[in-house]
Amino acid sequence: MADKFDVIVIGAGPGGYVAAIRAAQMGLKTACVEKWIGKEGKVVFGGTCLNVGCIPSKALLEASHKFIEAKHDFAGMGIQTGDVQMDVKKMIARKDTIVKNLTGGIAGLFKANGVTGIEGTGKVVGAKKVEVTGLDGKATTYEAENIIIAAGSVPVEIPPTPLTDDIIVDSTGALEFTEAPKRLGVIGAGVIGLELGSVWNRLGSEVTVLEAMDSFLPMVDAAIAKETQKLLKKQGLDIKLGARVTGSEVKGQEVIVKYTDGDGDQEMTFDKLIVCVGRKPYTKGVIADGLGIDLDERGFIHVDDQCRTSVPGVYAIGDCVRGPMLAHKASEEGVMVADIIAGHKAEMNYDAIPNVIYTFPEVAWVGLTEQEAKAKGIEVKVGSFPFAASGRAMANNATEGQAKIVADAETDRVLGMHIVGQHAGEMIAQGVIALEFGSSAEDLALTCYAHPTMSEAVHEAALAVDGHAIHMANRKKRK
């Protein structure tokens, strides 16, 4: 038997590494197990988020957006740039450097906080035992009073489009293209599909998105989703709804994709195909049989509101449990669980978790959509404000989109905030705070916002809830 710990965390993604650091800060002897092998052949921390998810995708999104700005927008501002070119290989190399710096930074944080990093594959083999199989194949068993499973998730694969080395790829493979494919197919019009489709569309690919569902972004407020679809179509993304992929065939350096839609059987040919149909929990092999830890038919670990599993002392957080698969949700669960183990009271407000799609413009939301609130039988009042009426948006050349607030008609309490526009992912924090503190729309309306800022659109939307917007004509009669 090896060292004994107060806490062992399995997985060093945004849920696991945060949980480990927090536990160590609480004075608990903590270890974190990770098996992810980086490009240099060594174990690295950060999980999907830092290695092949949130961070690298944003690096490509930012670089490709700046390319589009330089190519099409700068001239209108009086900036002459000449023939703008994108060096895709250099863009990918920059992305890799960012990933390396951040994953190395976690190793430094572990050292600074006294967290023991253990390299290998972790498996819960008892209520207080974790077996770690190292890179050399040798298994070592560690004891821990508490275990936190933060194993994350992996991309879903579908039978009609089996992955290949370089033609049919998942989201990870789409981060490694060395040039923009002429014809790019994307299966899935969700967050990942739209972000990756946007990257390569900006760099010259003819992008077609095949979405099986008949509605676009059904989890987003209907008005925001409709405007987002219009804006992405304007940018060149061909989004086909109700298109269910039935098969594929790789011929040489291209792939023929077959699908059915309202007009019957169809097929399209692409140079690359990205499969982005969702993610599934990575729990297979993480828990030994017969321990009594309950999983559902999809592999998610059953937990209560404080992430306790059915076995005392064993917790699970992040993508391998219920709720949205979001890095920040996993991180907050990690903090909550670490605090609980340390003997503190802690809880998490699952109704105030923000979502962001990092297209341009960004799409961000928190709380209830107008449609969800009405479905719950809540009478609502709504205020919205277009960025086209924002002075800062005009100066930024970012007048597309709007901010929208949904409030309870009786109590005025903010139920949800929804934004499509530049920096929406930053501005949505206002909505999160409003929900967390039970703010009213009037609270936001009476708050002083700096001028000129993009966030003034949120202020005006709050004013518009009761027909008091200043910088646009109000649809409601002022009271």
- Distance, CA of 136 to CA of 411 (rounded, Å): 62
Active site residues: 451
Owner of token pair 């949205």: 324
- Distance, CA of 317 to CA of 301 (rounded, Å): 9
- Distance, CA of 216 to CA of 225 (rounded, Å): 7
- Distance, CA of 144 to CA of 3 (rounded, Å): 9
Q: Which residues contact 396 (CB under 8 A, 6 or more apart)?
A: 422, 454
Q: Is 475 helix (H, G, I), strand (E, B) or coil?
A: coil
**Residue 312: how many other CB atoms lie within 10 Å:** 9
Closest of 338, 354, 322, 346 to residue 17, by C-alpha: 338
- Distance, CA of 163 to CA of 131 (rounded, Å): 31
Task: Report yes or no: 441 and 462 within 8 Å, Cβ to Cβ.
Answer: yes
Q: How far from 348 is each of 224, 337, 352, 410, CA to CA, in Å?
A: 27, 10, 9, 26
Task: Report yes or no: 398 and 422 within 8 Å, Cβ to Cβ.
Answer: yes
- Distance, CA of 299 to CA of 149 (rounded, Å): 13
H helix intervals, 136-255:
191-202, 222-235
Task: Report yes or no: 389 and 471 within 8 Å, Cβ to Cβ.
Answer: yes
> Rg of the chain over CA atoms, in angstroms?
24
Residue 97 identity (one-letter amino acid): T
CA atoms within 13 A on the CB side of 316: 27
Task: Report yes or no: 38 and 106 within 8 Å, Cβ to Cβ.
Answer: no
- Distance, CA of 364 to CA of 136 (rounded, Å): 44
Q: 79-107: b or e for each residue (b if 16 or more CB lie within 10 Å)?
A: eeeeeeebebeebbebbbeebbebbeebb
Name residue 168's beta-bridge partners. 273
Task: Report yes or no: 140 and 131 within 8 Å, Cβ to Cβ.
Answer: yes
- Distance, CA of 70 to CA of 82 (rounded, Å): 9
Residue 352 identity (one-letter amino acid): A
Closest of 45, 16, 33 to residue 132, by C-alpha: 33
